[in-house]
Amino acid sequence: MKAMEESTVLDAKVLELNMGPQHPSTHGVLRVKLKLDGERVVDAECIIGYLHRGVEKISENRSYIECVPYYDRTDYIAAVSNVYGFLLGVEAMMQIEVPKRAQYIRIMMTEFSRIASHLLWLATHAIDIGAMTVFLYCFREREEILKLFEALFGARLTTHAFRVGGLWKDLPPGFVEAARKFIDEFPERVDEYEQLLTKNRIWMARTQGIGVISGKEAIEWGLTGPVLRGSGVRHDVRKDRPYGGYEEFDFDVPVGENGDTYDRYLVRLEEMHQSRRIIQQVLDRLPDGPVRGKAPKIVKPPVGEYYSGIDGPRGELGYYIVSDGSAHPFRVRIRPPTFISLQVLRRLVKGHLMADVIAIIGTLDIVLGEVDR
Amino acid sequence: MIDFLKRIFLVDILKGMALTFRYTYRKVYTEQYPLEKPKLAERYRGAPRLNNDPVTGETLCIACDLCAEICPEDLIVVGSQRDPESRKKVLTHYTFDTSRCLFCGLCQEVCPTNAIELTQDFELAAYDRRSMVWDRKRLEKGWDRIDFGKDYHK
C-alpha cells in the first residue's frame, strides 16, 4: 500500500512504449518495444514476424522453376536482385552457360532495381524526417524505372525477372532509347534532391551524429551494404567476388567517414550515380545474340550445396541452396541483408531521442518482407 | 562571416524553396487514374484469358495440362475427355483462381498453343471470393469491366 502511494506519475522513471506494428514510419510491420526515460531511449526491442510467409519452406515443395516468383516477394522493393541471386546459384550448380547479352541485360536491370530501391529509400527516409517534397520527386523517377520493368518483364513490382539460363524475352523495341533517356536525365534529378537535402540545416541536424557505428563494430555485427560502407569499410561483393560479369564494368565503391545517418545518405546517393555509370556502359557495349542459353526443361542440379551471394541494394543477399538431386530444392536458406542490419537497431538507438528512432530505422533501409520472409 | 550571413538569411532553405517554386510552372506528372486508363506494356501480365481460334471460334487449348503442372500455386484445373472417335483429348472445363494467382506468367510461357494468356486487364476486384474463380466461359470472354457511367467519378 505504501509503495502504491509513493509511486506517482512523476516518479515513473521508465516508460514502455510500443512503436508499430502499424506505425507508418516503421516501413512495414515492425514492432519496436521502446523503454523511454522522458524522451530518451533507454532500450529497444524489435519484434518481427508479422509478415512471415515461410518462403524458405515453400521453396522445398516447389520445383526450381516454380519457386522463383516467391523470391520476388521477399524483398519486394528490389525484386529483380532477389531473383538474380537465386538463379546465379542454380546456374552455377548446373553449369549452365548464360549468353553474353542476357548477362549484360541482367546486370543493367539489377542496377536499375538498385536505383529504384535507393529512390524509395530516400523518399521514405525523407518523409519520415519531414521532407515531403523529396518523396514526390523520388517517386516520379521510380515510376520511370517501373515503366521500364513493365516493358521488359511484364510487371512493375513482382517482376519474375529472369529465368534459368537467361531471360524470358529480349528487350522490347524502344527500350534502349527509353533507358538512355532516363539515365541522361537522372543526374539532374539527383542534384535536385541534393539541393533540397544535402545542405539543408534541418536535414543535417536530424541526421549528423545520429546512429553512429564504427567500421570495426559494423563488421562485428555482420552488417553489409551501404550501412557498412557508410562506416568507411570498402566492402562490395561486386568487387570482392565478381559474379555474372560484373568484372567487366568500371565503377567505384563509395564509402563514408563517420558512420552516421548523414554519411549513409551520401553513400547511397553516390551509389545511384555509380549504378548509372554501369547502366551506361551496358548500353554502350550491349552485344547481339540470344538471351536464353541451353537450359534443360526440368532443372535438376546435382547433389551438393552451393552459396551464391550478390550485392543487393541493401547488402549481401545470399542464397544457400542444398540439392538432393531431385527437381525440388532440399533446402533454401536466404541470407537477408536487412534481417542482419535490423539487429543493430537496439545498439544504435540507445541514448538517442524518440524522434531519432524513425531516422535510424529509415537509415538501415529495412524491408519487412525480407526480414520476416 | 559568409557562413554566418548564410545562416541568418536562411540561404539553404531558400534554395530548396526556389526549386519547389520552379515546379509550379512545370508539366503535371500525375496520372488521373480512374478517369484515364494507363497505357500498359504489351507484355503486362494481368487478367488471364483462354484464347479461341479467331477463324473457327474453337478453343486453342489442347488440354495438355502443362499450365496446371507448372503453376506454383496449383490454381489451374484442366478437365479433359478422350473423344472416342478421333482419340484426341478434348477440353471439358478449365478453371483459374485469380485470387491466388502470382501473375508470374509461367502458364503462358509453357503453353504450346498460346491458349492461356495473361492480358493487360488489371482491374480484378470482385465482391466475393467465389467470383474470383474464373470458369472457362469467363476466361474465354475476358474480363468485363464494371461500367459506372460517365458521371460516377465527378
Per residue in A13-34, pLDDT (tens digit) is 788 888 878 777 777 788 888 8
Q: Which residue has the cell 525484386?
A: A79
Nearest Cβ partner for A200 among B12, B40, B42:
B12
Distance CA B35, CA B31 (A): 9
According to DSSP, residue B83 is labeled -
Binary contact (B19, A192; C-beta < 8 A): yes
Question: What whole-number percentage of chain A has pLDDT above 90?
Answer: 8
Size of interface A-B (CB pairs under 8 A): 68
Instruction: Give the model's pLDDT for residue B154.
Output: 46
Cell numbers that stand for A179 in this block: 533507358
Check if the beta carbon of residue A56 is closer than 8 Å to that of residue A333. Answer: yes
Whether residue A212 contacts residue A260, with contact meaning beta carbons closer than 8 Å, is answered with yes
The pLDDT of residue A320: 92
State the pLDDT at residue B145: 53
B69 CB within 8 Å of a chain A CB = no
Give me the pLDDT at residue A322, please.
92
Residue A83 near residue A162 (C-beta atoms within 8 A): yes
3-state DSSP assignment of residue A246: helix
- Among A80, A96, A107, A89, smallest CA distance to A247 is for A107
Residue A147 in contact with partner chain B when CB distance is under 8 A: yes
Q: What CA–CA distance (Å, rounded) separates A126 from A194?
A: 12
Q: What is the pLDDT of residues A187-219, one digit of tens each?
A: 988 888 888 888 888 888 888 888 888 888 889
| B113 min Cα distance to partner chain A (Å) | 17
Q: What's the pLDDT score for residue A12?
A: 62
**Residues from chain A contacting residue B29 (CB–CB below 8 Å):** 140
Query: Region A2-16: what's the mean pLDDT?
Result: 60
Query: What is d(CA B133, CA B21) in angstroms, rounded to the nearest whole number?
Result: 50
Q: What is the pLDDT of residues A165-195, one digit of tens each?
A: 888 888 888 888 889 999 898 898 888 888 8
> How far apart, in whole angstroms, are the C-alpha atoms of residue A119 and residue A111?
12
Q: Which pLDDT does position A2 carry in this prediction?
A: 46
Please report, rounded to a whole number, the percentage of residues in chain A having pLDDT higher than 70. 97
> Residue type for A64, please?
Y
A89 phi, psi to nearest 5 deg: -65, -50
CA A137 to chain centre: 20
Give me the pLDDT at residue B91, please.
82
CB atoms within 10 A of CB A255: 21
Report how far residue A258's alpha carbon sits from residue A204's, in angstroms, rounded to the nearest whole number: 14
> Which of B23, B73, B102, B121 best tests the A interface by mutation, with the highest count of A CBs <10 A?
B102
- Residue corresponding to grid cell 554501369: A278
Pairing mode, strands A329-335 and A40-47: unpaired
Say whether pLDDT at B124 is over 70. yes
The chain B residue lying nearest A201, using CA atoms, is: B12
Nearest-Cα distance to chain B for A243, in Å, is 26
3-state SS class at A186: helix
pLDDT digits (tens, 9 = 90+) for B53-81: 878 878 888 888 888 888 888 888 888 88
Distance CA A13, CA A10 (A): 8
A57-101 pLDDT, tens per residue?
A: 998 888 888 888 999 888 888 889 889 989 998 888 888 888 888
Cβ-in-10-Å burial (0-12, 13-18, 19+) of A272 comes to buried
Confidence of residue A3 (pLDDT cuts 50, 70, 90): very low
- Determine contact: B137 vs chain A, CB below 8 A: no
Q: Which residues of chain B have a CB within 8 Å of the CB of A192?
A: 19
Min Cα distance B10 → chain A (Å) is: 9
Residue A303 has pLDDT above 70, yes or no: yes
Evaluate whether A367 touches A27 at the Cβ level (below 8 Å): yes
Check if the beta carbon of residue A293 is closer than 8 Å to that of residue A97.
yes
Span A106-129, average pLDDT: 90
What's the pLDDT at A188?
A: 87
Q: Is A356 helix (H, G, I), strand (E, B) or coil?
A: helix
What is the pTM assigned to this prediction? Answer: 0.86
Cβ–Cβ of B19/A195 closer than 8 Å? yes
Give CA–CA dist A135/A362, Å, rounded: 13
The sign of the torsion formed by the CA atoms of A270, A274, A275, A279 equals positive
What's the ipTM? Answer: 0.80
Q: What's the pLDDT tens digit per position in A227-239? A: 888 888 888 888 8
Retrieve residue A204's grid coordinates: 543535417
DSSP B28: P
| Nearest residue in chain A measured CA to CA from B71 | A66
Residue A242 contacts by C-beta under 8 Å, 6 or more apart in sequence?
none
> Which pLDDT value is given to residue B63?
84
- Residues of chain B with Cβ-Cβ distance to A196 below 8 Å are 16, 19-20
Dihedral sign for Cα A129, A132, A137, A138, please. Answer: positive
